[in-house]
């Protein structure tokens, strides 16, 4: 088990040193402790410079050097993930060149994905049309906004779609919420979403039958629990929908079932019945579940969900310093658990923990990847598996109360 993550030897909490004390202090300690001791504002300047450098690298490797040809158009591992990162850079710096570049990349992804039957935000057409519409809105380009919204509404959903986030119904619904969040409520009508919510709830109740969990889903024959393919992701998106009271009870009951059936370690199984307590990822395990429970605490104002989200956060602190950098199953994604808990509780300890994971990445990731001690990712520049996700996290650290897990939290 220990080979999946680095043993976390960072202090559980370290107060920032006043600026005047940092110079002599720095000489006596290792570079990671020095970074962790920096006043937050000083650290942010360091992270921001690094983030913008990384963004340039990601753009060069996934866009410039490819001759602007699209091999993989998706947010998850492809060029649309670069557009999403560049859009984030625009949100932070307000540099209009970033917005222009984002739209240029989305346009290429639009052409490349016209015949795609994939429909979600992370891995399908909805991502292209939703990000295109939102970027066009910020650019004040009405014609383009109209184009992408029209394309979005023309996406055809097969009745045989699974329900999970990466390829299924909630992955499409998330794109609707993203559009409504940025462009305005009702841009995508709730009637459109309602039909899908009905199908999701019906499928969940049917598979749950008389089991102890009110809703259950299957993807490729397995009843997954995590954010990418299972319950955590589906409940997360459902909480953004207008639900009837009995549907709300089913969502709450499903989350309670998960809490009651977590591993003794506090981690969560990747699928129903699994006894393998190994994965501490956003996609499978405590991090993705913690984000969903944090959302449930916020939406339902329920203290038990908050406590469970914090318990899962402890697992992430102890076992979440993964040997990968991305947001799906890497350190960057796990840092977002602490940012969500910080937003919810306002406790400085959680901001420290997010900072600790970010500082670990800043201080060591590239060296560890070069030395082969850390995996650079199958798509090393991508948003979900590579350094694109790390750049995104560093940009989010600048305004931590506004930080949101990319393409997942609104
Ligand atoms: Zn993953």
Expressed in angstroms and rounded, the spacing between residue 224 Cα and the centre of ligand 1 is 13
- Cβ partners under 8 Å of residue 349, min gap 6: 13
Gap from CA of 226 to ligand 1 centroid (Å): 10
Tell me the C-alpha distance between 123 and 126, whole Å.
8
Find, among 73, 89, 70, the residue nearest to 81 by Cα: 73
Question: pTM of this prediction?
Answer: 0.96
User: Which pLDDT score, from 0 to 100, does residue 21 have?
Assistant: 52
Lowest-confidence region among 2-11, 89-98, 103-112: 2-11
Say if CB 362 and CB 35 are below 8 A apart. yes
pLDDT of 221 higher than 50? yes
Mean pLDDT of 59-79: 94
Cα(328) to centroid(ligand 1), Å: 4
How far, in Å, is the centroid of ligand 1 from the Cα of 41?
Answer: 31
pLDDT of residue 20: 56
Query: What is the rounded CA–CA span in Å between residue 90 and residue 105?
Result: 14
Compute, in angstroms, the gap from residue 137 CA to the centroid of ligand 1. 31
Cα-to-chain-centroid distance, residue 121: 12
> Which domains, and CATH codes, for the chain?
31-397 (1.50.10.10)
Q: What is the mean pLDDT of the chain?
A: 95
Mean pLDDT for the stretch of residues 311-322: 98
CA 9 to chain centre: 25
| 403 backbone dihedrals φ, ψ, rounded to 5° | -65, 140
Cβ proximity of 205 and 163 under 8 Å: no
Map tokens 């190994």 to a residue.
278
Phi-psi region of 68 (alpha: psi -120 to 50; beta: other; left: phi over 0): left
Q: Which two tokens stand for residue 243?
A: 């639900």
Which pLDDT value is given to residue 1?
41
The token pair at 98 is: 């970033």
Instruction: Compute and round to an integer the Cα radius of gyration of the chain.
Output: 21
Res. 68: pLDDT tops 90: no
- Position 211 scores a pLDDT of 81
Q: How far is the CA of 166 from the centre of ligand 1 (A)?
A: 11
Task: Say if residue 2's pLDDT is above 80.
Answer: no
pLDDT of 65 over the 70 cut: yes
* DSSP character string of 342-400: HHHH--HHHHHHHHHHHHHIIIIIHHHHHTTSSB--SSTTSTTTSHHHHHHHHHHTTSG
Give the tens place of pLDDT for each residue, 161-219. 999 999 999 999 999 999 999 999 999 999 989 999 999 999 999 999 878 999 999 99
Mind listing the pLDDT tens digit for each residue in 373-403? 999 888 999 999 999 999 999 999 999 999 9
CA atoms within 13 A of residue 262's CA, in its CB half-sphere? 27
pLDDT in tens, 349-375: 999 999 999 999 999 999 999 999 999
| Three-class DSSP category at 265 | coil
Q: What is the mean pLDDT of residues 76-102?
A: 98
User: Region 300-310: what's the mean pLDDT?
Assistant: 97
Who contacts 344 (Cβ-Cβ below 8 Å, separation ≥6)? Answer: 294, 297, 298, 306, 309
The CA 281 to ligand 1 mean position distance, Å, reads: 6
Average pLDDT of 275-303? 97
**Pairwise CA distance, residues 187 & 202, whole Å:** 26
How confident is the model over 116-158, as pLDDT tens digits?
A: 999 999 999 999 999 999 999 999 999 999 999 999 999 999 9
Cα gap 322→278, rounded to integer Å: 12
DSSP per residue, 54-116: HHHHHHIIIIITTTT--S---TTTSHHHHHHHHHHHHHHH--HHHHHHHHHHHHHHHHHHTT-
Per residue in 7-55, pLDDT (tens digit) is 999 988 888 876 655 454 445 578 999 899 899 889 999 999 999 999 9
Phi-psi region of 184 (alpha: psi -120 to 50; beta: other; left: phi over 0): left
**What is the distance in A from the centroid of ligand 1 to the CA of 363?**
23
- CA of 284 from ligand 1 middle (Å) equals 7
Looking at residues 303-330, what average pLDDT do you find? 98
SS3 137: helix
236-249: average pLDDT: 97
Mean pLDDT of the region 319-337: 97
389 CA from centroid of ligand 1 (Å): 12
**Per-residue burial over 305-322, b = 16 or more CB atoms within 10 Å of its CB, e = otherwise:** bbebbbbbbebbbbbbbb
- Looking at per-residue pLDDT, the higher value among 59 and 66 belongs to 59
> Residue 5, SS3?
strand
User: Has 283 been labeled as part of a binding site?
Assistant: yes
């Amino acid at each position: 088990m220990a080979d999946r993550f680095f043993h976390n030897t960072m202090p559980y909490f370290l107060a920032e040193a006043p600026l005047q004390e940092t110079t002599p202090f720095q000489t006596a300690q290792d570079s990671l402790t020095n970074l962790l001791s920096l006043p937050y504002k000083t650290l942010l300047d360091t992270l921001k410079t690094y983030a913008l450098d990384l963004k340039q690298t990601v753009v060069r490797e996934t866009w410039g050097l490819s001759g602007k040809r699209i091999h993989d158009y998706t947010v998850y591992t492809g060029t649309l993930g670069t557009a999403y990162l560049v859009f984030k850079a625009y949100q932070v710096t307000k540099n209009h060149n970033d917005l222009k570049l984002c739209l240029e990349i989305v346009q290429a992804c639009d052409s490349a994905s016209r015949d795609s039957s994939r429909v979600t935000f992370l891995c399908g057409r909805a991502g292209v049309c939703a990000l295109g519409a939102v970027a066009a809105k910020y650019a004040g380009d009405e014609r383009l906004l109209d184009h992408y919204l029209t394309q979005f509404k023309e996406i055809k959903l097969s009745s045989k779609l699974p329900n999970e986030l990466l390829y299924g119904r909630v992955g499409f619904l998330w794109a609707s919420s993203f559009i409504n969040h940025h462009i305005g409520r009702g841009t995508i009508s709730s009637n459109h979403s309602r039909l899908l919510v009905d199908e999701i709830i019906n499928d969940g109740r049917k598979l749950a039958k008389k089991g102890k969990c009110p809703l259950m889903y299957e993807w490729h024959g397995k009843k997954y629990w995590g954010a990418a393919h299972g319950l955590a992701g589906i409940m997360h998106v459902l909480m953004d929908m207008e639900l009837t009271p009995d549907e709300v009870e089913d969502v709450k009951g499903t989350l309670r079932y998960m809490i009651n059936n977590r591993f003794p370690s506090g981690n969560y199984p990747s699928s129903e019945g699994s006894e393998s307590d190994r994965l501490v990822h956003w996609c499978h395990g405590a991090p993705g579940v913690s984000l969903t429970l944090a959302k449930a605490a916020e939406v339902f104002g329920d203290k038990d969900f908050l406590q469970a989200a914090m318990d899962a956060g402890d697992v992430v602190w102890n076992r979440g310093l993964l040997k990968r950098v991305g947001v799906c199953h890497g350190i960057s994604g796990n840092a977002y658990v602490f940012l969500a808990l910080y937003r919810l509780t306002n406790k400085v300890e959680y901001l420290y923990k997010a900072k600790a994971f970010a500082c670990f990445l800043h201080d060591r990731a590239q060296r560890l990847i070069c030395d082969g001690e850390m995996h650079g990712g199958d798509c090393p520049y991508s948003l979900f598996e590579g350094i694109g996700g790390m750049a995104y996290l560093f940009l989010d650290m600048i305004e931590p109360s506004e930080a949101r897990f990319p393409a997942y939290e609104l």
